[in-house]
Structures are given as C-alpha cells and as structure tokens.
Structure 1
Amino acid sequence: MAHTRKRVGATVLGLCAIAAISFVPATPAQADPDIKDVKARVDRLYHEAEAAQERLHDAKLDLADLRRDLNGLRADQERQDERLDDVREQVSDAVVRQLEGEGISTVGQIVVSEDPGAFLDSLSTMSSFNDLQASLLSDYDTELEALEIRREATDARTKEIAQLTAQLSAEKDTVDDKLAEAKDLLSDLEAEERERVLASRGSTTRVPTSVPASGRAAAAVQYAMAQVGDAYVYGAMGENAFDCSGLTMRAWAQSGVSLPHSSSAQFSSGPRIAASDLQPGDLVFYYSPISHVGIYIGNGMIVHAANPGTGVAVAGLYSMPYVGAVRPG
C-alpha cells in the first residue's frame, strides 16, 4: 500500500510538472520599455539636438562675419576698379597725345615755341616722356594685379558662405531629426509613464525665493530666475521660450552686456573663474565640446534652459558634465 501511494504521488507530481510546463509561453513576452532606459535615451537625444543647435548658432556667427568680410572686399574691389579706370585713362591719354604729335623732336619744339628759353628749361621733363609712359603702364599692371587679387578673395568668401549655408541647413535638419526621434520615443509610452519620464527630468531642487547677487550680475540673475517655468525651444531667445544660450544672452542684456547667441562663443565673454570662486551671475558651461550654458545662482545651483522636456529650471551645478565658468562684463 505504501508503495502504491508513492507511485500515485509521483504520478501526480509528474502531471503537475507537465501542466506547469505546458503553460510556459514558447517565446518570451515583449518586455515593456524600462523607464530609466527611455529617460537616458531621451536625455541623449535632447542633448544631441542641443549640441547641433549650438553648432548652428556658431555657424550663423561665422556666416555674419563672412558676409561683413565679403561686403568689405566688394567695396575694396569697387575702389580698385576706380583706381584702375583712372590709370587706364591716363595711359589712353598718353597714347593719344603721342599719336597726335606730342612726341615731335626737341628741335621742332624749340622752333615753334614762342619762348625757346622757357622750353629748354623744361627739357628734362619732355625728355622723360617715354619714362612717364612706361611708369603709367607699370601702374596699370600693378592695379590690374591688385584688382585680380581682390576678385579672387571675393570669390573665395562667396564660396565659403555657400558652404556654410549648406552646413546651417544640415545642422537644422539634425536638430529636427533628434527632436522628432525623442518625441516618437516618448509617444510610444503610455501617457502616465510619459509624464513620469518628463517629471523625472525636471529639477528636484527647491527653487530659491531670492538670490544674493550684486552689481550688474543682479539684473541678469533676476531676469533668468523670472523665466523659471518657461518653455525650452531650440533657437529661441525670449520672450516666453529660450534655448540655453538664448536665456543667458537675454539675461545679461538686462545689465547692458552683449553676449553672442552661442554657448561656445559665450565661453570667451569674460575672464575664467574657478569653481571655488563662483559668484551669482557667472556663466557656467557644460560638455566637451561646449554645448550648454547656465547662470550660477549660489549655493551650488544654477538656473538654465534645460531641454524641451524641462524648460527653464533650477538644477545643481554638477548635474551635467561641468567644463568651466566665466564672469561677463
């Protein structure tokens, strides 16, 4: 009997095991996207888009410089054209005078002159007529060569502008593509999860009610802090939306300090400041190459236009890869 019970028990256990195996799916179910992974990918895409946007700002600054240079070259070329025309006219007049008989013999000139003595006094000038012609022709060649140099420089700047314009278009496409990819990634999540991702990207640091800034920095800090909660839009510089360098540019403009709309260019806007010497109002920079900028507000915090998911917010000084700081003005 005991032996029979053992056999029955074994049989039951075997059937249970078979039943359990029968309920195991043949292929593993598709795992839901991990929120941390999605957040990291969205962060990366937003930063890649911002880096492209900052390169776009740099290219626009370079383009403006090239166009100013081109305008100067064209003005210089016009002046050179005028100088060349003057020399060309002098050469033409000299040739015409010679053809009309100005080059007759010195003896003939003395004979026909009403004052042979006065003519003999200017004989040295008349005898150098051929030298004058040679000088005019030499001047003509020199001015012609100078004009050609200016034309080549103008053509080179024109080509640079065309190449940079193409680069601008490519960088703009990169910004749009990265932003679209981030939006698609977020749209694949359920609405509740998407809100969790976006919320997790915001600052958990309490926004200070006041920042002890002084001098010209005070106006810059006050303006930036007043924008907390505003939207982040690539290329924007106010009134209700900003990108990182657009916010810092507008903030310091309140103090009469002109900054370029570019984080990397703003890195050259003042003396470098050590992290231990930071004061409210200092510009702080991130990533290598530099592609993000914020404003230090004290107590190890910054205010910055973060990204499209966060907007203008307060964050920790070392919440991103820190590069350095400068003090504008």
Structure 2
Amino acid sequence: MNRRRRVTTAIALVCALSVLVLPGQASAEPLPPAPPGSGSGPVGDADKSLDQVRREINDLYRKAAVATDAYNLAEDQAQSQSGEIVKLARAIVAGEQRIEKLKDRLGAQARAQYRTGGMPASAHLMLSGNPDMFLKGAGQLKQGQQAVKRMLGEMTRTQEDLRTYSQDASGQWQKLEANRKRKEKAQKEIKKQIDAAEKLETRLESKERERLLELERDEQYRSQTAWLNSGALKGGKGGAATSQGQRAISYATGKIGRPYVWGAEGPDAFDCSGLTQQAWSAAGRPIPRTSQEQWRLLPKVSVSQMRPGDLIVYFSDASHIGMYIGDGAIVHAPRPGRNVTIAGAGSMPILGVVRPG
C-alpha cells in the first residue's frame, strides 16, 4: 500500500471510529402524539419511542440477514447440485456409449459363429483330425471365451453403474428442487422483513430519521466502549496480519462506500458474508459463502488471539460477520440502506472469531 493509500485509510478509520467513540446527544424521546382523529402516530403507536423503533428496525433487518444466509446457502448448494447433475449426465452418456460398443463386439462374435453354421468352434477343431491344429485352436478358443466373458462382465458392471448414476441424478434433482423451494421461501422472507423495516423508516420525518441515526451511533458507542473496557484486546497476542490477511484487508477496505445488497458478492455491492468471502478469495483462500457456514467450518480462535484479517462473527445465530482490521475496528457491510464501512469491533454482540488463513 503506497503512502497516499495509507493516509487515506487512516483518515477513514479515524473518522469512522470517532463516530463510535463519541456518544450522540440524542435521547429516546417519545414520538409526538397523533393529531386528534388521526388514529395513530407516524409509526403506528403514539407512545412508541424512537429507541423502540430503532430496535424494531434492527430486529427486522437481522431477520432479513438470517433469511439471506438461508438463501445464499441454498444458492450455493443448488450450484453444487447442478454441477453434480451435469457430471452424472456425462457419465450416463459415456456408459451408454460403452454398452453400445460392447454390444457391437458381442454381435460380431455371434455373427462369426453363425457363419460357421452355428457349430461351436471346439466341435470344428475336434472334427478336423489334425492334433496340432486342434491344440493351437483350443488355446485361441480359450482366449476368445475369456474375452467374451470379460465383455459380458464389463457390460454388467456398466449397466449397474448406469442404474446408480440414474438414481444419483434423480436424488440430485430432488435436492435441487428442494433448494429451489428454500430459496423462494427465503427470498419472500427477506423481502417481507426489509419492506417492513423500510416502511417503518419512511414513516418517520427527516428530523426523526436523523435522531434515529444518532441513537444507532450512540448504542454502538456504548457497546464498543464496554467491550474495550472489558480488556478484550489487552495483551494483543494475535500478532500482525499475514500476507494473505493483508491482501484480504486491502480488498475489503477498498470496497468502503459500496452499498449493501442482500445476496450480493461484488464487485459493486455486497452483503456481509459476500464481502468477507470475496476479500479472502482475492487473497487466494476460498471460504464458505454464508456467515453461518464461515462460523461453522473455519478454524476458531479466541478474541484475545485474533489478528487483522480474522473474521468476527456476531449474534447468537451467526447472522452477521465482519473483518477485523486492527485497533479494535472491523470493515463490514452492515445492512440494507447502508454502505460498506468501518465500525467498532465490539459494537455488536460477538459470538466468536474465525481465521481463514
């Protein structure tokens, strides 16, 4: 990274962290009461506070994140199953071609016997009256019989393989269809949760939306401060980023400002796990697609041992993930309506840390 890039990244990091370290001035004031006869306030309940609205919006987006993980996993599995079906189809075609060749060879044997009047070759040899010819022919006959036996055995095995391939292909089609239905269900759930969250936000006035953002920052500040004060980073035993980790960080920080889009994995938009997956892919280390699979399958390390490039998994259901970049900060794709940004690593409940490489 050249000097200008380092300075730019440092400025962005300081600006982002200052938002999280300086508490906001907003308080969770109740929304103004609805005018007489209007029936309800701008978010449905006159006595609902902005902080309650914030929590409700965050909960909706978290549900959307869980559904996004389900969608991404089904998409990944569907692609894998499609690939398996293609392989099986090719194997079936090759098997059928092999059987046709074996049939042709066996047919040639049958036609040769027909041309001798249907009499077995051994009988012709015995009737020839020539002992030398009989012995020589007997050896050839044995070889021919063994060749036919091998062909019949190969045909039987090939037919059994074809039955297995067909059954496997049928099973893969059933899984593919099940995943298609899961994707459709997850997609509907994502849209439902995001629409509900956006509906809540759009019913707020501009000043209320500004206050809502301040409340969000204030909550992040409190969580980050509590996490830092807990001594989670004391000792710094994890060390510096590896060369691979540094490449992953460079990719992720290079995407700051790109929008969050559910199911997206770049290059112009990302969801949380799409960003971490593509960052590590750019570093030469393929990792699973979803935050839950990244948590389940990647090696785990303690928070006290984490180093830049490691991935921090959030919430008890592993529904969010970000990349640790050092100094108590992460780069992540937060949620719909937000862009890839730098945030405090402790600004959300940490489930654990995983290390791709």
Distance in 2 between the 1:129 and 1:297 partners? 72
Q: Deviations over 1:229-277 (max 9, x none)?
A: 4422212234443211122233334433333432233336753211111
Equivalent residues of 1:217, 1:280 under 8 A apart: yes
Question: Could you say which structure has the larger radius of gyration?
Answer: 1
Q: Which residue of 2 aligns with 1:237?
A: 265
Counterpart residue number, 2:315:
287
Listed as ranges, the gaps of 5+ residues in structure 1 are: 1-24, 207-211
Question: Is 2:353 the counterpart of 1:325?
Answer: yes
Q: Does 1:33 align with 2:48?
A: yes
**Change beyond 3 A, Cα 1:84–1:167:** same
Distance 2:78 2:209 in 1: 39
Deviation, 1:173, is 1.7
Identity rate, percent: 28
Is the Cα contact below 8 Å between 1:110 and 1:119 reproduced in 2?
yes
Quickly say closer, same or farther: Cα 1:38–1:102, change in 2 above 3 A. same
Name the counterpart of 1:119.
134
**How many residues matched?**
297
Asked whether 1:272 is paired with 2:303, we answer no
Cα displacement (A) at 1:152: 1.2
1:37 Cα offset (Å): 1.4
- Equivalent of residue 71 in structure 1, options 68, 86, 96: 86
The answer to whether residue 186 in structure 2 is matched with residue 158 in structure 1 is: no
The amino acid that maps onto 1:297 is: I
Instruction: Check 1:118–1:289 CA distance in 2 against 1; reply closer, same or farther (3 A cut).
Output: farther
Higher RCO (Cα < 8 Å, 6 or more apart): 2
- Alpha-carbon distance in structure 1 between the residues aligned to 2:300 and 2:68: 24
Asked if the contact 1:201–1:310 (Cα under 8 Å) also holds between the matched residues in 2, the reply is: no
- 2:334 alignment partner AA: A
Contact 2:249 2:309 in 1 (8 A): yes
Write out aligned runs for 1:51-130 (5 A): 51-100=66-115, 101-104=117-120, 106=122, 108-109=124-125, 111=127, 117-123=132-138, 125-126=140-141
TM-score calculated relative to the size of structure 2 = 0.71
Aligned partners of 1:243 and 1:182: how far apart in 2? 17
Q: Distance in 2 between matches of 1:109 and 1:87?
A: 27
Give the AA of the match of 1:276: S
Contact 2:125 2:137 in 1 (8 A): no
The 2-side partners of 1:141 and 1:311 are apart by 60
Shift of 1:306: 1.1
The gaps in structure 2 that reach 5 residues or longer are: 1-35, 226-239
Letter in 2 for 1:242: F
* Alpha-carbon distance in 1 for matches of 2:142, 2:250: 81
CA deviations over 1:102-125 (Å, ceiling 9, x no partner): 525756445558x65223332355
Which amino acid in structure 1 is aligned with residue 345 of structure 2? Answer: L
Match of 1:167 in 2: 182
TM (norm. structure 1) is 0.76
**Farther-moved stretch of structure 1 (96-105 vs 271-280):** 96-105
Structure 2 CA distance for aligned equivalents of residues 301 and 105 of structure 1: 86
Stretch moving more, 284-293 or 103-112:
103-112
Instruction: Give the structure 1 partner of residue 20 of structure 2.
Output: none
> In the alignment, which residue of structure 2 is the partner of 1:256?
284
Corresponding residue SS for 1:232: coil
1:95 aligns to what SS in structure 2? helix
CA RMSD of aligned residues (A): 3.2
* Alpha-carbon offset, residue 32 of structure 1: 4.2
The answer to whether the 8 Å contact 1:201/1:309 transfers is: no
Pair 1:62–1:89, CA change in 2 (3 A) = same
Q: For 1:265 and 1:220, how far apart are their aligned partners in 2? A: 18
